[in-house]
Structure 1
Amino acid sequence: MHFPENNKIRIRRDCGQQELANKKVKKIPPNVMAEILSRLPTKSVARFRSASKLWNSLTCESSFALQQFKNGPNKNRPSVLILNWRCNIEFSLNQFEEGRPLSEKLYCIGPKRLPCYVMTNSCNGLICVLGLRSAVMVNPGTGEVMMLPEGTIGCNVHKLPVSGGLGFDISTGEYKVVRFVHCLDRTVASEVLTLGSESWRRISNAPLQDTVRPPVVVNEAIHWTAKCDRHDGPEVAVSFDIRHETFDVIMHPEGSHSITESSRVGRTVSVVGELAGYLCVSDKNTLTSQMDIWILMDYSQRRWIKQYSINLQAMENRSWDYVRVVKPLTIRDGNILLTDGRGRFDYYDPGSESFRMIMHDSAAAGYTTLHVESLVSPAAARHGTGLVYGHGNLDAEN
């Protein structure tokens, strides 16, 4: 093949520059290079693995996956992961990021006649999807899937859902999945699987009822909404201590709708969440449009403050009825991201007390949880590699 002389010169110059660049890269200490690569998005790291043997070696270490999860650019701007099931035999995991179309991360066909699937919270980029007995660990960012041992507690196929949570024990470096089965006698049987073990272990029954929403992790404990919608008891959350595998009950804040109004008029609808690292509860009376968000500022002393009072009637094209509670997901640039669980997402500005709808799509209906993509492998999680949970600040961007 013949090249003009000026093209030959350009090719030699480009090759020389590339060779010089490669030599400079090789002079960078591996730990410094790993630190640089850990600050790139997950997808970019995956692409760079094929560009250099050194980069591939550095980024395939399990310690790098956790370093990248901690340092990556999306750590403080998580996406929303949505579990949507169809026809009782399929489920999909969809990802929602503001300014981007809804994307399907995973699609599976499961056993027939399954009433529903539920998902846990996201933990270091991993989630667990639970069926009646089945359990699968998923990294939605990489598409890696790992089947877990089947649960040992049976349940009624036609009536009773399962639920659960995923946590990381910082004292042992182990991941744990807790699974609930809602029994006909209204008790909730519980079992735990430590990843890497071959079977589930029975633990004490969970003091909750009919909750299938994904939980949140705060203060090294997993938290679920304690009761079903429209329950007017004093309990608002049930916590599971990941290290000691014990349950505790957290009461409604003094002065909340549940405490002051439930005995007089209407009923209270509550849902537990997490904002900026703090446990929160969205609380409203079914006969009014006002929703209060309480923040558990002092976890050990159970000290709540009412941080926000939101008039849902100010929402444009409002399809959310007074009965349903709206779930806060995160705080971005001072605005609270809210969802109704039916595919609608709005920002609420506490300063102007105004709403801005950013998506309304039936394909986004389902269970929601915040999610940060990572390179953590479900298989590596079996060997006990994880990350310490952080604690946020309400004034910080989440």
Structure 2
Amino acid sequence: MEATKRLRRRGNDGGEVKTNDEASPEFSDFPPEIITEILLRLPAKSIGRFRCVSKQFCSLSSDLRFVKRHTERNAGNRKLLVSSRNLYTVELDSIGEGIRVLAAVELNYPLKDEPGYLAEKIRNYARERGGLELNLNLQLLRRNRVEIIGSSNGLVCIYPEKGGAFLFNPTTGESKKVPESLSYKGEPYGFGFDTLSDDYKVVKFVATSDNKGYHNADVYSLQRDSWRRIDGLRYKPVYSTLGVRLNGAIHWVVKLEKGQSQKRVVVAAFDLKTEKFRDIQLPDDAGDYKYLQVANLKGHLCLVFCDLGKQVVIWVMNEYGVERSWSKIQLDMFYSSMTPLWSSTKNDEEVLLELEGNLVLYNFESKTRWNLKINCDIRSTFMANTYVESLISPNSYGNNGIEI
């Protein structure tokens, strides 16, 4: 209300005169296209704050065409989303400028104040024993785990420990609960944007009754706000359960059931447009499939091989979908887990990696690395993903037509 009052000016007689659409007098004479160009150059968070300035700003920042243009313009301005006892957002621009401790901002996310399973079990244990007082800081056990399924265009699919999946915009704080799928069973998830139908989709594998394979998958459509079943799969789980979005598809490393192919392990790619799966053959020397993980390395599909006591090996698919284009990179590292998170825009050879619960900036050319820290309470095991700031709302989704 105060913001609106400040936008009113006084006439020559001292009386109050309202500008058009309650707009600020400084902007009242500006052509709408000039105001649009100015706002397009501002961060999404700033534009969100300007919504209360005037009806004109509020209407413009909610317009789907404006949201699309703003997201496209700011596609390179990515942030790091970290999950560890909480959700944090971290600026990536400072990496590579000599800063080794990264500033983190705590986020408010769906079901943040719901106690985790461990805290609930401890409370129940205390109740069963007549209100036994435990010398524990239960606050540290709350919000114990939030899984990051994936991100696209500023929307992030998260899975709090209790409560199911949500589509969440870390910039605006808006969220939408994803309804329960056709089946409660299933572990591997994926999330992405379908440019053909302008739709966000969540993919969930459905486990067989004996939990030894996946014969079905459920696909959630944000436009329809419902799930549909895909039959005819013959996969078995291998290692990582989270899919990697790249080139309009979501990818997992899976094992084929007997009799389907001589090569039992493949990359399963779910096409977000056709909603069909196809198999991508692994390189011939891909090693022990149990330790293979699919990832995105500088915009290329890659496979990461990690095994304790063995060197880290990466296979990069230089031309997407062309199996003969796999190339091998052997790193002078010995880790049991490694995930590429982000490629520097300032130095093409520098990549931010998660190495056994640590953040490391690695230079592929000089083979040098720098350890990074985050100034928040993170455990040795954490999840991280990147996202772009945007104004896209999961609750009023429309025709965006972009993929970032």
Alpha-carbon deviation of 1:31? 3.2
Q: The residue matched to 1:137 in structure 2 has which SS? A: strand
Query: Could you give the per-residue CA deviations for residues 348-379 of structure 1, whole angstroms, max 9, x where no partner exists?
Result: 11222111011267616322221112110011
1:331 equivalent to 2:343? Answer yes
CA distance in 2, matches of 1:354, 1:112: 39
CA distance in 2, matches of 1:26, 1:216: 46
Q: The residue matched to 2:303 in structure 1 has which SS? A: strand
Aligned to 1:158: none
CA distance in 1, matches of 2:234, 2:168: 25
Query: Could you give the per-residue CA deviations for residues 259-292 of structure 1, whole angstroms, max 9, x where no partner exists?
Result: xxx4xxxx7622211133221222245442x223
CA distance in 2, matches of 1:163, 1:141: 26
1:244 equivalent to 2:274? Answer yes
Q: Give 2:37's match in structure 1, choosing from 29, 35, 38.
A: 35
Query: Could you give the per-residue CA deviations for residues 5-27 of structure 1, whole angstroms, max 9, x where no partner exists?
Result: xxxxxxx9xxxxxx9x9667444
| Residues 4-43 of structure 1 aligned to structure 2 (within 5 Å) | 25-43=27-45
Aligned to 1:347: 361
Query: Could you give the per-residue CA deviations for residues 6-61 of structure 1, whole angstroms, max 9, x where no partner exists?
Result: xxxxxx9xxxxxx9x96674444323422331221111112222334322221121
Assess, with a 3 A threshold, how the Cα gap between structure 1 residues 206 and 305 changes in structure 2: closer, same or farther. Answer: same
Q: CA RMSD in A?
A: 3.1
Q: Give 1:149's match in structure 2, choosing from 179, 182, 192.
A: 179
Q: The residue matched to 1:389 in structure 2 has which SS? A: coil
Overall identity of the aligned pairs, in %: 28
CA distance in 2, matches of 1:181, 1:135: 15
Structure 1 length as normaliser, TM-score?
0.73
1:121 equivalent to 2:112? Answer no
CA distance in 1, matches of 2:234, 2:104: 35
Aligned to 2:315: 294
CA distance in 1, matches of 2:246, 2:78: 16
CA distance in 2, matches of 1:141, 1:60: 14
Q: Give 2:70's match in structure 1, choosing from 39, 58, 68.
A: 68
1:219 equivalent to 2:247? Answer yes
CA contact (8 A) 1:165 1:177 kept: yes
| Residues 77-96 of structure 1 aligned to structure 2 (within 5 Å) | 77-84=77-84, 92-96=86-90
Q: Give 1:191's match in structure 2, choosing from 218, 222, 237.
A: 218
Q: The residue matched to 2:190 in structure 1 has which SS? A: strand
Q: The residue matched to 1:351 in structure 2 has which SS? A: coil
- Find runs of 4+ consecutive structure 1 residues off by over 4 angstroms: 21-24, 109-117, 210-213
CA distance in 2, matches of 1:388, 1:198: 20
Count the aligned residue pairs.
Answer: 333
Q: The residue matched to 1:35 in structure 2 has which SS? A: helix
CA contact (8 A) 1:218 1:279 kept: yes
Aligned to 1:359: 373
1:168 equivalent to 2:198? Answer no
Alpha-carbon deviation of 1:245? 1.1
Q: The residue matched to 1:370 in structure 2 has which SS? A: strand
CA contact (8 A) 1:176 1:192 kept: yes
Aligned to 1:50: 52
